[in-house]
Structure 1
Amino acid sequence: MTAPVTVPQPAAETPVPSTRPRRSRSRASRDPFLDNAKFVLVVLVVVGHNWGPLIDEMRAVKAAWLVLYSFHVPAFVLLCGYFSRGFTGRPDQVRKLALTVLLPYLVFETIYTGLYTLLFDRPFAITPSQPTSVCWFLIALFVWRLTAPVWQAVRQPVAVAAAISLAAGTTAVGYELALPRVLQLLPWFVLGLQLRSEHFGFLRRPLVRCCSLVAVLAASAGAWWLAPRADPRLLSMSYDNDDLRLSVAQYLVVRLVLFVVAAALVASFFAWVPRHRAAYTRLGAATVYPYLLHGLVVQAAQAYGVHDLLGWGGLVGVALLSLAAAALAVGLSVTPVRRATCWLVDPRTVRLPRVQISRPSRELRT
């Protein structure tokens, strides 16, 4: 049994927690474009986490991993900001945020800690302030959304958030509450707060879509060239310049370049997301299920050497692994799985038995 791979896996949204759509909301009221984007992104999250253990073995896999991790987490964080535009900090909103994000975070922190103890013989010690595995995204979303009213009142919020992000990368910040990722990914959340539906519509223009193809090809070529020498930790947004052995000037230049690359790839992604309703659209309403659950499967497969086995198959093995990962994302999104696990992912759905206390008879009261 092997130890878990330490390659950073900044998964993301992922997912934008939307654990269970309310029955009172009709399907027509949901934007298929947003659900499509969420579903494709969570599939990419699962695929990327399965590529992680193999990026040091094959240059092509590492190049694809670099391209993927350049944009899919920023895209998810941007959608988090977009869905947080109406958050004003009302008590009912904070209560709902705690129930839909903070409570599942605590539940899955316990589950992942137990899994690591079982698979990797780690001491069972729950540390809610230091997120485990994919749980970092939930606590980050909790913090980001609480700050949404502040950013609505700040002038030039994206520029201010970008300055905070760069400063965080040149400062030794502890990992409590996933603070390095919270701060370094902050500009994408703030950008999402500023966006409107017409901005996504602009990306559908033919000229923009043509430019997006050029951007993807250029990013792919650059990733192939950088793959032998690139440090994957640069894309995890968890490390400062000292950890990466870069001077402050070098770090700032690299981060600015990554901002530009990520912006081009995020725009390219949204430019090609289908706007019509598809067979997978409804799965985009519950992306938190595959996001939180897939890590359990991936860690178990990693512990029992599944990735090492498929790695021997070369690119064919990677292709099979990618298909299996996509199938896993779909399988964890279907209704039977959601019904079986909703008590974990969305504890609000748990209905406690009603206890009826009979009133004492009049004779007893007298």
Structure 2
Amino acid sequence: MTDSPRPNGNRRTPSPPVSSPGTGAPPADAPRSGVPGSGKRRDAFFDNAKYLAIVLVAVGHFWEPIKDDSRFMEAAYTVVYAFHMPAFIVISGFFSRSFDMRPDRLGRLVTGVAVPYIVFETAYPLFKRVVDDDPGQEVSLLDPWYLTWFLCALFVWRLTTPIWKAVRHPLPLALGLAMLASVSPRIGDDLDLQRVLQFLPYFVLGLCLRPEHFHLVRRRSVRFLAVPVFVSALALAWWAEPRMTTGWLYHRDSAQELGAPWWAGPVMVLVLFGCSLLLTACFFAWVPGRHMWFTALGAGTLYGYLLHGFVVKAGDYRGWFDASVPHGPVGAVAVTVFAAVLVTFLCSGPVQRVFRCVMEPRMEWAFRRDAAGPARARGRGQEERAAREAGGTRKTREGREAPEQVSA
């Protein structure tokens, strides 16, 4: 859960996401509910989607230093970057539908998003100081560094969720903001607002989706059509590679900063939105809905997302990618396999237990006691029992089928 390097080290900021841990969600190995997002049990489909997407994120980051020697790898890199981040953000929006300003949900937003952001926004520059022998590297909580931009964006998106739930046409409004951002070079780098605004439509789209929409893309006919779509996308990316800069895919810069006329910004926002949604739908079509060996890893994708960046950066600082071996076909395959195995390990239970103190701190001491919490818990319990007895789908008090989760 992404980007090409910038001259000052801290702007090489790939995409994430990474899935964040479920906050208050049931164990990842709980049986699936049968309907995406229904009930309290984790749905295998979404955990599978998050795991497969985080593997693509890690592979893309390891491809970045070695892709310049192969036009095919450039094309594959472009296709992957066109949809893996939008897929994460759509899932994040889908599981944010029940978010409001309730104290317990704000507390989970702080512990599950803000605290990891602060920890890793500090850890990455310090890591560069030590490993790259760069004592001048500064720590700044206002300029997201490398992978941490997604946590910053998710925090902002979550806080604005009540607004998007209140307005009449949220998606067109979000697209309008993204188009305006693409022609506004003066937004600057603070909190990576350029990327926050340009990726916003995908989050708002997730807020607008319902479980039945995911059932539509998982039909057999869509699964068959996804194959020629991906092949066509790869061919198009191969053709466009010498003609288009991949900077458009990062949604990090305005049109003027990419050396294009201002009107190209809104056009590219709309074109990429359509292409990304098509590829995201094809990706979801091939995600298995049943319990797989990697399903439980879907609950730990935030761990894999944030931690694998240290390995990528270590390789960059120490010149591991400068050798000739990774730049050949065999080396590229080896790098791909290594990236997939590494991020799989980093999503595993033992790693989660070690780093849970900074990824999912409890921090009851930091918040006032919510007097209405026990009453809400009893009300939810009564609703669940009534739903089980009626054999129907439990719904929350907000009328949403999906429980709130922090997804990366």
Q: TM-score, normalization: structure 1?
A: 0.90
Following the alignment from structure 1 to structure 2, what is the Cα–Cα distance between the partners of residues 26 and 209? 26
Kindly provide the CA deviation profile for residues 163-192 of structure 1, in whole angstroms up to 9, marking residues without a partner as x: 111110001211111111110000000000
Identity of aligned residues (%): 40
Amino acid at match of 2:71: R
Amino acid at match of 1:286: G
Kindly provide the CA deviation profile for residues 218-251 of structure 1, in whole angstroms up to 9, marking residues without a partner as x: 1110001111232121111110011111112233
Q: Who is 1:329 aligned against?
A: 343
Q: Who is 1:11 aligned against?
A: 15
Work out whether 1:158 is the aligned partner of 2:161.
no
CA contact (8 A) 2:29 2:296 kept: no
Q: Who is 2:79 aligned against?
A: 67
Q: Who is 1:278 aligned against?
A: 292
Q: Which of these residues, 57, 62, 74, is aligned with residue 45 of structure 1?
A: 57
Shift of 1:16: 2.9
Shift of 1:119: 2.8
Q: Which of these residues, 101, 104, 114, is aligned with residue 92 of structure 1?
A: 104
Q: Which moved more, 1:52-61 or 1:66-75?
A: 52-61
Q: Which moved more, 1:185-194 or 1:113-122?
A: 113-122
Amino acid at match of 1:280: F
Aligned in 2, Cα 1:152/1:350: closer, same or farther, shift over 3 Å?
closer
Aligned in 2, Cα 1:9/1:64: closer, same or farther, shift over 3 Å?
farther
CA contact (8 A) 2:55 2:343 kept: yes
Amino acid at match of 1:134: L
| 1:269 counterpart SS class | helix
Shift of 1:335: 1.6
Q: Who is 2:94 aligned against?
A: 82
Aligned in 2, Cα 1:24/1:280: closer, same or farther, shift over 3 Å?
closer
Kindly provide the CA deviation profile for residues 317-344 of structure 1, in whole angstroms up to 9, marking residues without a partner as x: 1110000000001111122222222223
CA contact (8 A) 2:157 2:203 kept: yes
Gaps of 5+ in 2: 32-40, 366-408
Shift of 1:100: 0.9
Aligned in 2, Cα 1:313/1:53: closer, same or farther, shift over 3 Å?
closer
Q: Who is 2:155 aligned against?
A: 142
Aligned in 2, Cα 1:315/1:8: closer, same or farther, shift over 3 Å?
farther
Kindly provide the CA deviation profile for residues 2-42 of structure 1, in whole angstroms up to 9, marking residues without a partner as x: xx944955311x02311676567871211000000010011
Following the alignment from structure 2 to structure 1, what is the Cα–Cα distance between the partners of residues 26 and 174? 37
Following the alignment from structure 2 to structure 1, what is the Cα–Cα distance between the partners of residues 240 and 137? 39
Kindly provide the CA deviation profile for residues 84-110 of structure 1, in whole angstroms up to 9, marking residues without a partner as x: 011011122111101111011101111
CA contact (8 A) 2:177 2:197 kept: yes
CA RMSD of aligned residues (A): 2.2
| 2:175 counterpart SS class | helix
| 2:323 counterpart SS class | helix
Q: Which of these residues, 20, 24, 27, is aligned with residue 30 of structure 2?
A: 27
Gaps of 5+ in 1: 352-366
Following the alignment from structure 2 to structure 1, what is the Cα–Cα distance between the partners of residues 284 and 326? 35
Shift of 1:345: 2.2
Q: Which moved more, 1:307-316 or 1:172-181?
A: 307-316
Following the alignment from structure 1 to structure 2, what is the Cα–Cα distance between the partners of residues 35 and 289? 14
Q: Who is 1:175 aligned against?
A: 189
| 1:207 counterpart SS class | helix
Aligned in 2, Cα 1:267/1:33: closer, same or farther, shift over 3 Å?
same
Aligned in 2, Cα 1:128/1:16: closer, same or farther, shift over 3 Å?
same
CA contact (8 A) 1:109 1:132 kept: yes
Amino acid at match of 2:294: Y
CA contact (8 A) 1:342 1:349 kept: no
Shift of 1:78: 0.6
Rg: which structure is higher? 1
Q: Which of these residues, 50, 54, 57, is aligned with residue 69 of structure 2?
A: 57
Shift of 1:315: 1.6
| 2:65 counterpart SS class | helix
Following the alignment from structure 1 to structure 2, what is the Cα–Cα distance between the partners of residues 140 and 160? 18
Q: Which moved more, 1:80-89 or 1:227-236?
A: 227-236
Q: Who is 2:130 aligned against?
A: 118
Q: How does 1:213-224 map to 2 (within 5 A)?
A: 213-224=227-238
Q: Who is 1:355 aligned against?
A: none
Aligned in 2, Cα 1:48/1:9: closer, same or farther, shift over 3 Å?
farther
Q: Who is 1:292 aligned against?
A: 306
Q: Which moved more, 1:18-27 or 1:129-138?
A: 18-27
Q: Which moved more, 1:46-55 or 1:29-38?
A: 46-55
Following the alignment from structure 1 to structure 2, what is the Cα–Cα distance between the partners of residues 46 and 25? 21
Q: TM-score, normalization: structure 2?
A: 0.81
Aligned in 2, Cα 1:122/1:58: closer, same or farther, shift over 3 Å?
farther
Following the alignment from structure 1 to structure 2, what is the Cα–Cα distance between the partners of residues 289 and 237? 24
Kindly provide the CA deviation profile for residues 333-366 of structure 1, in whole angstroms up to 9, marking residues without a partner as x: 1222222222232233899xxxxxxxxxxxxxxx
